[in-house]
Amino acid sequence: MSNLQASTATRVVMLGTGCPRPDPSRSGPATAIIVNDTPYLVDFGPGVIRRATAAFDQGVTALGYGGTNIKTAFLTHMHSDHTVGYPDLIFTAWVMGRREPLAVYGPKGIKAMTEHVLKAWEIDVQGRTGGLNQHSLTGWKVVANEIAPGVVYRDENVTVTAFPARHEEMVDSFSFRFDTADRSIVISGDTAPTQAMLDHSRGCHVLVHEAYALAEARGGEKPTPEFRRRHHTSSRELADIANVLRPDLLVTYHRPTRDESASRIDDQDVLVGEIRQTYSGKVVAARDLDIF
């Protein structure tokens, strides 16, 4: 676990750095921003609460055991690798002791998804609230908010601004900027390069951005180069973005999907090496449970 900037009031905890490929070493996309011991979650991919509990066990107690302290979450887009952990986030944290409703801010469709998830687990809710378990009557509830670009959330710790991402068919996709008293953090979500990223990320201290290595993109039939170009950001493109923004720290995440027949080598050194060809700032490839 990295402890970069661990002494600041604002920390970035990488709960999941993977993608649709079911890599056992990487949970699905999920990033916690912790400000004054209050957690804010971006995306809830597969394994989110297991990773939150692992972080708790390693000293990130602000998350609460079983994610019980996670009460505010943001969603970049509706793809399954970013949302499959939604029932886990709702119900596991409730079963482990969360008493307040979860507040979620995301694109169009999050309200319908929330309604269907709660409906799918209504027998569980009835059993746990009406039987011997006597779980909280409110901790399973969710207030889902469908957002538009602009400031979408503000409290005494943080101001959260959403701005458009570009992820092909996911036309309602967002990146998020978190401004706190001591740091500004941008989470890209899944996106090809956009002018909005440049316009809204200037002055950020930490840029957490998806990326794929060009060397890897030449290695297989799937995903195709055209798919990558229209959905994601290459190492070269990310270096160009970072050269404009000059963050204190550039963090790559959302490990790229490779053809399942490809050899299981770790391509993160290749990715960072490609970025460093044209970008001289500090850059790291995140792994699950890293803290920045």
pLDDT in tens, 229-283: 567 799 999 999 999 999 999 999 987 655 444 444 456 788 999 999 999 999 9
Amino acid 227: pLDDT = 61
pLDDT given at position 263: 42
Mean pLDDT, the chain, whole residue set: 91
CA distances from 168 to 21, 108, 116, 172 (A): 19, 15, 25, 9
Q: Which of 268, 264, 236 is nearest to 251 (CA)?
A: 268
| Bridge partner list, 266 | none
> What is the structure's pLDDT at 171?
83
Residue 5 lies in a domain: no
Q: What is the pLDDT of residues 193-219, one digit of tens each?
A: 999 999 999 999 999 999 988 887 665
Return the minimum-mean-pLDDT range out of 19-28, 158-167, 261-270.
261-270
pTM attached to this predicted model: 0.92
Q: CA-based diameter of the chain, in Å?
A: 62
Nearest to 73 by CA among 21, 22, 38: 38
| Total structural domains within the chain | 1
Whether 49 is covered by a domain: the verdict is yes
Q: Per the domain annotation, does 1 fall within a domain?
A: no
pLDDT of residue 42: 98
Q: How far is it, in rounded angstroms, from Cα 58 to Cα 1?
A: 9
Judge contact between 46 and 28, C-beta under 8 A: yes
The least confident of 90-99, 158-167, 256-265 is 256-265
Please give the residue that has the higher pLDDT: either 113 or 170. 113
Looking at residue 221, what is its pLDDT? Answer: 58
- Whether the CA torsion 78, 84, 89, 94 is positive or negative: it is positive
Supply the range of the domain harboring residue 262. Answer: 10-285
Closest CA to 48 of 31, 35, 64: 31
Is pLDDT larger for residue 255 or for residue 288? 288
Exposed/middle/buried for residue 277 (C-beta within 10 Å: 0-12, 13-18, 19+):
exposed
Say if 4 falls within a structural domain: no
Q: Phi and psi (nearest 5°) for 163?
A: -140, 155
With 90 as the cut, is the pLDDT of residue 183 above it?
A: yes
End-to-end CA distance of the chain: 9
Q: What is the pLDDT of residue 165?
A: 97
The residue-averaged pLDDT of 36-46 equals 97
Mean pLDDT for 102-114 is 98
- Domain membership flag for residue 290: no
Determine which of 13-27, 72-86, 209-223, 261-275 has the lowest per-residue pLDDT on average.
261-275
Cβ count within 10 A of residue 148? 11
* Residue type present at position 253: Y
Question: Which tokens go with 54?
Answer: 């692992």
For range 112-124, the mean pLDDT:
98
Distances (CA, A) of 76 to 79, 80, 128: 9, 11, 31
Q: Does residue 177 sit within a domain?
A: yes
Strand partners of residue 177: 161, 186
Q: What is the pLDDT of residue 262?
A: 44
Closest CA to 178 of 194, 196, 145, 155: 155
Q: Which amino acid is at 155?
A: D
Question: Which comes out higher in pLDDT, residue 101 or 24?
Answer: 101
Q: How far apart are CA 179 and CA 163, in angstroms?
A: 14
Q: Is residue 291 part of a domain?
A: no
Residue 75, pLDDT > 60, answer: yes
Interior CA angle at 145 toward 114 and 35, to 5°? 105
Confidence of residue 4 (pLDDT cuts 50, 70, 90): very low
Q: Is residue 120 part of a domain?
A: yes
Token pair 């509830």 is at which residue?
141
The CATH number for 240's domain is: 3.60.15.10
